[in-house]
Amino acid sequence: MANAQSDALVFFGATGDLAYKQIFPALQGLIRDEGFNLPIIGVAKAGWNLDQLKARAKDSLEHHGGIDAAAFEKLIGLLRYVDGDYNDEATFAELRKQLGEARRPLHYLAIPPSLFGTVAENLAKAGAAENARVVVEKPFGRDLKSSQELSATLHQYFPEAEIYRIDHYLGKEPVQNILYTRFANPVFEPIWNREHVRSIQITMAESFGVEDRGKFYDEVGTLLDVVQNHMLQVLANLTMDPPTGEDHDAVRDRKAELMRAVRPLTAYSVVRGQYQGYRSVPGVAPGSNVETFIAVRLHIDSWRWAGVPIYIRAGKMLPVTCTEALVEFKRPPRETFGELVPNTSAHMRMRVSPDIAIALGVRVKIPGERMAGRDVELDLHSQAVEDMPPYERLLGDASRGMNELFSRQDLVEAQWRIVEPILGNVTPVYSYAPGAWGPEEANQLIGNDGPWANPVVQPQGA
């Protein structure tokens, strides 16, 4: 069934928050931009009817992107609804009825992973799993063992090739831009290795706190929320070898190879922090030791990257909201002009958000007779963030059988192996003030490989 177009889209959790914020806008976008013309069947246990789901779709679009009159009318015409318990076979019998002549449905499970097995089994019993694809949301387990168990459950009913593990970060235009910039420009690849790169930093900073996600966040923390998945995916795009061949799995093969080469983290290579005031957030345990900031030092045991330290940090209540990677190059073996030049004067910066930017740090001569210089940054490319929202791209790809931007089980397992040694409270949690760049201990972690390159974000309209 490879690359065959799905002939229906079913989304479980149709009345939930994810559907409200992401799926309805993505579906309208697919209809508007790509002529999406499949039956769309929402499934949930809410006591709703179809008219209520249509009203929810309208409300969703009014608050997330706006209504496109023609596309919305088409969406409403395609929309169907099945209300029922996921444990009730009658729910799935009704779903099979609503699918009509469809024989290659795409099932999107926007539901907790604990329900994946129940839904997959009942889809199979109803005859709705054969020749079907299934899209599942992260987290793909809570550790390596649970990830493998989750995969084994899905494999009872769906082959690996038809399981699409969605990580919306992979669908972001700026994240793909990292890969494209590296391999489409011959000037970069010859210096993209241990001979020329001194260190790599990846920062995901958010200037806001956990807000109304206290209960959820207190169960995952920063490591599982963004580092184990999003940040490691950015690292893979930055450091993987060029894909070979035209197979859709070529990129994922290289990413899996890279992830398997990343040395598992230890307690000595991580600093965790928690912003002051976090424990008073509704839903957070009074004495919580969950981190809202984390910094880690990684090493890739490969010929290309041996000896190059890699630092990732992510956190909330930091000075700015920005995600970017900085590849720092080594200085020449001898400073020709006898200057005391800082190590940080040669770099390539790739920004993922809030805008897309690629910049080079270089030294230029100061006017005058002296052969002395200063550090400047050449802005090679800058544009507003992506045109196509990631969920629109990813759902469109899944419906066409294009799996390149989805995680594969071996890649997921490799990511879990990297972080598993530091799961739980294996290291202290240090307090930091809101608006700081995390706890002071993060500066001790980076040590002589630093300092941290703190992103600078220009105010809007500046």
Which pLDDT tens digit goes with each residue over 132-168? 999 998 878 889 999 999 999 999 999 999 999 988 7
What does the pLDDT read at residue 459? 65
| DSSP-assigned letter for residue 241 | P
Q: Clarify whether 107 is annotated catalytic.
A: no
Question: Class assignment of domain 8-137?
Answer: alpha beta
Cis peptide upstream of residue 242 (ω within 30 degrees of 0): no
What is d(CA 417, CA 3) in angstroms, rounded to the nearest whole number?
A: 31
Average pLDDT, the chain: 91
Select which of 63, 107, 168, 230 is catalytic.
Answer: 230
Give me the pLDDT at residue 173, please: 79
Q: Do the beta carbons of residue 150 and residue 410 sit within 8 Å?
A: no
Q: Contact, 446 vs 297, CB < 8 A? A: yes
Assign 423 to helix, strand or coil. Answer: coil
Q: What is the 3-state secondary structure (H, E, C) of 284-305?
A: CCCCCCCCCEEEEEECECCCCC
Q: What is the pLDDT of residue 462?
A: 45
As a whole number, mean pLDDT of residues 166-171 equals 81
Instruction: Evaluate if pTM is beyond 0.75.
Output: yes
- pLDDT given at position 386: 57
The predicted pLDDT at position 461 comes to 46
- pLDDT tops 50 at residue 456: yes
Question: CATH for 170-387+429-449?
Answer: 3.30.360.10
